[in-house]
């Protein structure tokens, strides 16, 4: 158990759920007020204070270069999609890019069939990686951290999962881009977007699809959550659309609270963050996630429910990470 994670989560109030079709949101409320001492990625890009590009002209699939020219740090959130340059990527972990610094960040490609520049620099998109794929990425990064200390995911497996989702959604993408799945579902996604709105003082949310927990994100400031809420909502709404059921047993408030407690008391290990702070990796039965600890607080925490947990004796082995890269019936069932 990580004491600061436990204190942060147990301080939050889990409110009653809001449900639309097969997606439910349990708001997590925080009575604290104040303004962030950092900019979000979207804010810094709008002000032209940050540049994200390939590490060099040839590019490296799983790394990007970030130059922050702002007088404040810039927050880039786990799973945020970056569009452009030689191929679209998502960020592997939450990063607080120091003011006036240039750093290299670990990413995962979400556009398999392109490797040429369409722009020199990246922009953000309207969404993050779908929560169920984001969960597998978090699981892979967890084991890679344990084995080598690195924050990389299994590129082949994530390409496989994106391709599987394209088949489920009947999307024909020339470059295998995750963004094309969102584009194809945009009209339905807008229905979900209109149905949800963050509450005053809401600093996080726990989401359930078909009555089953998918993900939870918590931020240090309600204003940060409100800015990132549309991206997070689209990521879980796509899961709701691709796994749509008309009949299911709604998730109870007590089951949602139990998930929060499991995260709060999960076994945790601390690694140096990319940028400021520390990257805390945690897992418990059926739960995996991470948190960025910086400036004396939990800046962002994300947790995911896993459909099945690996055997305990395998948890600290790199061999398990390697086995995850082999497409299997377990991966296919995840979508169907």
Domain boundaries along the sequence of the chain? 3-335
Q: Can you give the pTM of this predicted structure?
A: 0.91
**pLDDT at site 213:** 98
**pLDDT at site 32:** 74
DSSP label of 139: H
Confidence of residue 302 (pLDDT cuts 50, 70, 90): very high
**pLDDT at site 33:** 78
Confidence of residue 59 (pLDDT cuts 50, 70, 90): very high
How many Å is the Cα radius of gyration of the chain? Answer: 18
pLDDT digits (tens, 9 = 90+) for 96-139: 999 999 999 999 999 999 999 999 999 999 999 999 999 999 99
DSSP string, 223-266: HHHHHHHHHHHHHHHHHHHHT--S--PPPPHHHHHHHHHHHHTS
Please report, rounded to a whole number, the percentage of residues in the chain having pLDDT higher than 90: 90
**pLDDT at site 333:** 28
pLDDT digits (tens, 9 = 90+) for 143-194: 999 999 999 999 999 999 999 999 999 999 999 999 999 999 999 999 999 9
**pLDDT at site 34:** 85
**pLDDT at site 329:** 31
Pairing of strands 212-219, 297-305: antiparallel
Number of H helices, E strands in the chain: 10, 18
Please report, rounded to a whole number, the percentage of residues in the chain having pLDDT higher than 70: 91
Nearest to 134, CA basis, from 245, 265, 250, 235: 235
Residue with tokens 């699809």: 209
Report phi then psi at 148, rounded to 5: -130, -10
DSSP label of 312: G
Q: Where are the alpha helices (DSSP H) in the chain?
A: 3-11, 41-46, 131-148, 155-168, 178-184, 186-195, 222-242, 253-264, 318-324, 329-335
Residue with tokens 């080598």: 148
pLDDT at 282 over 80: yes
Confidence of residue 30 (pLDDT cuts 50, 70, 90): very high
**pLDDT at site 195:** 98
Angle, in degrees to the nearest 10, between helices 186-195 and 222-242: 130
**pLDDT at site 258:** 97
Dihedral of alpha carbons 96, 102, 108, 110, sign: positive
Q: Within a 10 A sphere around the Cβ of 242, how many other Cβ atoms?
A: 17
- 178 and 111 Cβ atoms separated by less than 8 Å: yes
pLDDT at 311 over 50: no
Residue with tokens 């927050």: 75
DSSP string, 111-122: BTT--S-S-SSE
- What are the distances in angstroms from CA 81 to CA 125, 259, 298? 6, 27, 22
**pLDDT at site 88:** 98
**pLDDT at site 1:** 82
Average pLDDT over every residue of 201-206: 97
Long-range Cβ contacts of 45-50 (<8 Å, 24+ apart):
45/123, 45/124, 49/74, 50/74, 50/97
313 exposed, middle or buried (CB, 10 Å; 0-12, 13-18, 19+)? exposed
**pLDDT at site 308:** 57
pLDDT digits (tens, 9 = 90+) for 39-54: 999 999 999 999 999 9
CA 42 to chain centre: 16
Confidence of residue 286 (pLDDT cuts 50, 70, 90): very high
- 142 and 267 Cβ atoms separated by less than 8 Å: no
């Amino acid at each position: 158990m990580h004491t600061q994670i436990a204190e942060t989560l147990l301080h939050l109030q889990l409110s009653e759920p809001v449900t639309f079709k097969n997606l439910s949101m349990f708001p997590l409320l925080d009575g604290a007020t104040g303004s962030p001492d950092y900019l979000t990625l979207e804010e810094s890009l709008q002000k032209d204070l940050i540049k994200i590009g390939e590490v060099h002209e040839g590019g490296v699939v799983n790394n990007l270069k970030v130059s922050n020219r702002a007088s404040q740090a810039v927050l880039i959130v786990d799973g945020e999609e970056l569009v452009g340059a030689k191929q679209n990527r998502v960020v592997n972990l939450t990063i607080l890019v120091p003011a006036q610094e240039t750093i290299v960040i670990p990413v995962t490609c979400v556009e398999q069939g392109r490797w040429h520049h369409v722009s020199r620099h990246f922009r953000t998109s309207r969404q993050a990686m779908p929560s169920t794929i984001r969960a597998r990425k978090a699981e892979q990064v967890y084991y890679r951290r344990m084995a080598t200390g690195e924050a990389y995911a299994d590129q082949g497996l994530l390409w496989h999962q994106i391709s599987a989702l394209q088949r489920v959604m009947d999307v024909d993408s020339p470059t295998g881009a995750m963004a094309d799945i969102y584009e194809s579902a945009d009209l339905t996604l807008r229905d979900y977007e209109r149905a949800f709105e963050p509450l005053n003082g809401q600093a996080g949310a726990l989401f359930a699809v078909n009555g089953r927990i998918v993900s939870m994100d918590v931020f240090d400031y309600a204003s940060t959550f409100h800015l990132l809420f549309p991206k997070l909502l689209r990521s879980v709404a796509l899961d709701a659309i691709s796994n749509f059921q008309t009949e299911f047993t709604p998730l109870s408030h007590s089951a949602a609270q139990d998930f929060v407690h499991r995260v709060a008391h999960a076994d945790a290990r601390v690694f140096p963050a990319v940028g400021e702070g520390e990257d805390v990796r945690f897992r418990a039965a059926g739960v995996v996630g991470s948190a960025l600890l910086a400036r004396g607080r939990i800046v962002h925490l994300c947790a995911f429910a896993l459909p099945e947990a690996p055997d305990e004796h395998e948890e600290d082995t790199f061999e398990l990470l390697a086995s995850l890269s082999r497409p299997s019936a377990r991966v296919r069932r995840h979508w169907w």
